[in-house]
Structure 1
Amino acid sequence: MRTERLLQLVGLLRAHGRLSATELTRRLEVSRRTVMRDVEALSLAGVPVYAERGRGGGYALLPGYRPDVEELTDAESRALFVAGGAGVADALGMGQDYATALRKLATGLPQRRTGDIGHALERVVVDPGGWSGSRHQPARLRELMAAVEADRRIRAFYRAASSGWSGRRTLDPWGLVLAGQSWYLVAAHRGRPHTYRVDRFERLEVLDAQARRPAGLDLLATWHELRDTWQQRPSTPVTLRVRADQADLAWRQLAMVLRGPVERTDDGPGHVLLRAPVGSLRGLVGMMAGFGSWVQVVEPPEAVALMREVAREVLQAHPAESTS
């Protein structure tokens, strides 16, 4: 409730000019000590609220105080329009600027609207960490953000998952994209654009050289084009028979190798069929093997054979302990 109450407190002081602690206590339905703590919190946050002592005293805002967009700092403006949410702002190192920008915008609104905003903020939570309660942030994300903003070239050691290639490349970074739970760098290597998973950068150096960025670049359109090209690469249609209570988890695991949409149909009591095009049979089998008997690879035959091969490899790598 505190967010809503702080916004309400600012709105009351803007509307009435000056209110005593007793009046604020009554209107906010809190104790005098809580009012004093809230006033202190506003002051520390940069809201010019002050106390007037003596008869007729109370709390007031500096005359004419009304934050508006013109009072946003460069960092706050950047955080507000670039981040698109508190979780993304935190990941990019903009969390504090994002929070103060929202506060300035909220306190600059009419009292009725600030009440509505506070009401909503107390009832909707966006947790980027998901059910696990944590969200891994790639180690090199903020370094890459600095390079992107400064239009600087980078020299990086990168590990590609699909091809197994790893090595050093000099890149012209064009921008960062958060797609689902993963961050990607869109960058040019020798003039050609590519996408790079941020969590696969092992070492990174921001160079003094200016990055070569096409004039009028549309980052979103470039990302869509690169993504569509990647999805159109050769794929293999597969069919899995999955225990119904494990279907959602299997679906999420499939996302790492998918090349298109997943089709789901019932297959008798307690089971479903999942059909989808995948880019790597080995990757598919590696993920599905962890489900044991809960997942059966039905088609194609080469995927079934590969599953058997992987099962043999696992048994060979984990021989039974001798009983002698």
Structure 2
Amino acid sequence: MPRKEGQKLKLLTLLEILARETDESHPLSVPRMVELLKERGIDAERKSVYDDIQTINEMPNSPFEIVQQRGRGGGYYMEDTPFELAELKLLVDAVYASKFITARKSRILIEKLGRFTSRYRQEELDRKVLVSGRVKSQDERILYSVDTLHRAITAGQQVQFKYCDWDLQKHMVPRHGGQLYRVSPWVLVWESGNYYLIAYTEGRLKHYRVDKMQRVEALPDTRREGAEAYANFDVNAYTQQMFGMFNGPLKKVTMRCENRFAGAMIDRFGTGPALVACADGDHFLISVDIQVSPRFFGWVAGFGAGVEIVSPPSVRAEMKRTLDTLEDLYR
């Protein structure tokens, strides 16, 4: 029997049909698969499709499983796909939460993620696009900056860039008249929807917001510095100590909190710090390392009288000065 046109692609095309056109709620009959193959320019007999399904299921270490659903309206569907729907939803939510990914690029990424499931399930991901109202970046170059930084980190090279701030006309203006920053990159951190580069420069580790970095370039003939500093660096502790990624002097701060804020403290500082019950039964004490900044005082103020800075006296006094200044402002 002569080989029919397109037979070399039949198995791959059948896999694509099963992946995109079927799930447990939408099985396909073999006659319908034959029709879909023909629409794609591939002639096939029913028996050969049955054989192909068996071949797929018998492949050693196959990532796919084709399940037969018996009874009226039954057929075959692909049970195992690269991602479960719940996993894809998590990835889609991560794309939405990323301020540095533009709205246009978000749509493109979500469309690509949707190809890893059936077209019916993809509709659930598409509907989520309509509820996204988050602030998004307008500059897609950040994706290429992230890629450049990853490659430089892998290669152990230094990088250079211009670091910018927003002006009142909503333009990014380079700091220090466009001076090039040259640093040794060590790790990228995703915090509060933004990417930050942790890099060694001027004898210590510092962080830079990637969406404020322009003209990022790796320096091939350089060697990264700061290995010893990074070896003793705890990324998680670093991000927990800061509020809004604002730097400040590192101090051990003790706070007296109402019991109802136990969850808020665990959410912010994790389960490591002890929550020590107070004698009144209504409060607890928590002591944590904080990089003290105005953002920290604003965070504490957000709890009203429910959270009080107890020590050290210098931080407590600074909190009072902050509140006094605000009182004068709004008097």
Taking structure 1 as the reference length, the TM-score comes to 0.50
Instruction: Tell me, in whole angstroms, the C-alpha distance in 2 between the residues paired with 1:208 and 1:119.
Output: 34
1:241–1:298 contact (8 Å) kept in structure 2: yes
Instruction: Tell me, in whole angstroms, the C-alpha distance in 2 between the residues paired with 1:40 and 1:177.
Output: 46
Instruction: Tell me, in whole angstroms, the C-alpha distance in 2 between the residues paired with 1:33 and 1:63.
Output: 15
Residues 35-56 of structure 1, C-alpha deviations (whole Å, 9 max, x = no match) = 958x979x99xxxx955147x4
Residues 204 and 50 (structure 1 numbering): CA distance in 2 closer, same or farther, change over 3 Å? same
1:239–1:275 contact (8 Å) kept in structure 2: yes
Instruction: Tell me, in whole angstroms, the C-alpha distance in 2 between the residues paired with 1:144 and 1:280.
Output: 29
**Aligned letter for 1:154?**
Q
Corresponding residue for residue 178 of structure 1? 189
Residues 240-277 of structure 1, C-alpha deviations (whole Å, 9 max, x = no match) = 1112222332454568xxxx952211223332211123
2:273–2:288 contact (8 Å) kept in structure 1: yes
2:158–2:182 contact (8 Å) kept in structure 1: no
Task: Report the Cα offset of residue 281 of structure 1.
Answer: 5.8
Corresponding residue for residue 131 of structure 2? none
Task: Report the Cα offset of residue 292 of structure 1.
Answer: 0.8
Instruction: Tell me, in whole angstroms, the C-alpha distance in 1 between the residues paired with 2:296 and 2:52.
Output: 62
1:213 counterpart = 2:220? no
Task: Report the Cα offset of residue 204 of structure 1.
Answer: 0.9
Task: Report the Cα offset of residue 188 of structure 1.
Answer: 4.9
RMSD across aligned C-alpha pairs, in angstroms? 5.6
Task: Report the Cα offset of residue 314 of structure 1.
Answer: 1.5
Instruction: Tell me, in whole angstroms, the C-alpha distance in 2 between the residues paired with 1:149 and 1:235.
Output: 32
Residues 35 and 269 (structure 1 numbering): CA distance in 2 closer, same or farther, change over 3 Å? farther
Corresponding residue for residue 28 of structure 2? 32
Instruction: Tell me, in whole angstroms, the C-alpha distance in 2 between the residues paired with 1:28 and 1:129.
Output: 22
* 1:196 counterpart (207, 218, 228): 207
Identity %: 12
Instruction: Tell me, in whole angstroms, the C-alpha distance in 2 between the residues paired with 1:280 and 1:30.
Output: 57
2:190–2:196 contact (8 Å) kept in structure 1: yes
Length, aligned pairs only: 238
1:261–1:277 contact (8 Å) kept in structure 2: no
* 1:155 counterpart (157, 161, 186): 161
Corresponding residue for residue 90 of structure 2? 127
Contiguous gaps of at least 5 residues in structure 2: 1-10, 68-77, 101-136, 166-174, 242-247
Taking structure 2 as the reference length, the TM-score comes to 0.49
Residues 133-188 of structure 1, C-alpha deviations (whole Å, 9 max, x = no match) = 952344635413225426684322167xxxxxx64443255454336666442445
Corresponding residue for residue 146 of structure 2? 144
Residues 263 and 226 (structure 1 numbering): CA distance in 2 closer, same or farther, change over 3 Å? same
Residues 120 and 184 (structure 1 numbering): CA distance in 2 closer, same or farther, change over 3 Å? closer
**Aligned letter for 1:32?**
L
Deviates more, 1:121-130 or 1:167-176: 121-130
Residues 210 and 225 (structure 1 numbering): CA distance in 2 closer, same or farther, change over 3 Å? same
**Aligned letter for 1:52?**
A
2:297–2:319 contact (8 Å) kept in structure 1: yes
